[in-house]
Copies of this chain bind each other. A is one copy, B any other.
């Protein structure tokens, strides 16, 4: 493969994670080391930064601050949720991207995100091929939702899983402290796939966790849910429940949206989210003290509970994307292939075609969920446990996190 000399752009897209910046760090460092990459540019707020010519010169950053990216949650370059049009319908954005690529002689484009981001990569790549502009385009996976096709798991998922399971263990302790009845509902992210809510099962596996877990992979039935909770509550005086935000009735309606449904026995306007609503429903039935807890943004930005495996794999994914592109690869996403055998866990990177990744959501296998649809089976534990291992070093100042402080020098300001 011929050497391709030029600048690279690295961008981040979609919801942030605890380790997405570790991937960017891996990519930036590999790009700065690559002889054929003449300049390393960071896109401000993903593809929007390319369209708006808002690009940071990453070569001007202090290497120490770049190193701190691996412990800094959220998207340091800024993110977006911008969806490119179908180029056959409207190619305005693509022409603009080409213009910017030509302006800075960009020959490498690395995009760090989930499903939509891989779709963006795929569309840009096809357009550049069509117009004959040589450019290598690679996807770097990230998503706490863990729903990307073609990879064992996604960077970002494991740290969120570790946050969720650790927090559930702690909340379990708190929710069992009085000898009076208590029902606790914990609401966990995941609109269409239950990987995150399922991870609460690690807490149960470790001895202190939810009695019941509901994922969007099975249909939710309010009456059965109430019966499940009542049964445990009557026997033990306590019940802890983990629910995915995406649980839905058989007709597809999200439980969180069925605010005034007669079937859920709950006629109030609902503002406080699913956990509060479900807690209120079981309170009406049992008279128990209830507590609805939404893990909210905390679960996706909790870098203080990041998994070392996740941080390392995220960095690796960024580095491999750059090294592969330099070696001539394009139109691929870095993916993981893992071996799990007893205590042994090995993770290696493979390259997947962008079009098998984009626009497909990987769900939790039905057989990893118990038959009643209210709990998790051992294969799920075996899958997720190796991913949450290890505690990364966490630089601190005054015992508070020391996050990266980037200069973010815009190329247009130079």
Contact = CB atoms under 8 A, between A and B. Distances in A.
Interface string A389-407: 1110000111111010100
A325 interface: no
Contact of A301 (B162, B173, B203, B401): B173
Contacts of A399: 162, 307, 388-391
A106 interface: no
Interface string A258-270: 0000000000111
B303 A170 contact: yes
A414 interface: no
A74 interface: yes
Contacts of A166: 304, 400-401
B269 A300 contact: no
Given A45-B179, A298-B167, A400 B291 contact: no
A294 interface: yes
Given A272-B271, A291-B296, A403 B301 contact: no
A229 to B, nearest CB: 18
A72 B207 CA distance: 13
Contacts of A143: none
Nearest to A391: B399
Interface in A163-191: 165-167, 169-171, 173-179, 184
A174 B291 contact: no
A217 interface: no
A198 interface: no
Interface in A295-320: 295-298, 300-305, 307
A304 B273 contact: no
A175 B300 CA distance: 11
Nearest to A17: B174
Contacts of A271: 268-272, 276-277, 280
A351 to B, nearest CB: 28
Contact of A297 (B75, B175, B305, B390): B175
Most buried by B among A203, A296, A307, A399: A399
Nearest to A79: B177
Interface in A110-145: none
Contacts of A167: 298, 302
A1 interface: no
A410 interface: no
A36 interface: no
A75 B176 CA distance: 9
Interface in A30-74: 44-45, 48, 72-74
A174 to B, nearest CB: 4
Interface of A: 16, 44-45, 48, 72-75, 78-81, 162, 165-167, 169-171, 173-179, 184, 202-203, 206-208, 268-273, 276-277, 280, 291, 293-298, 300-305, 307, 385, 388-391, 396-401, 403, 405
18 contacts: A45-B178, A48-B179, A73-B170, A74-B176, A78-B179, A79-B177, A80-B178, A81-B178, A170-B298, A174-B300, A175-B297, A206-B400, A208-B403, A272-B272, A272-B276, A291-B296, A294-B296, A388-B400
Given A268-B271, A389-B399, 12 more contacts: A166-B400, A167-B298, A173-B301, A174-B297, A270-B272, A271-B276, A272-B273, A291-B297, A293-B296, A388-B398, A389-B398, A391-B399
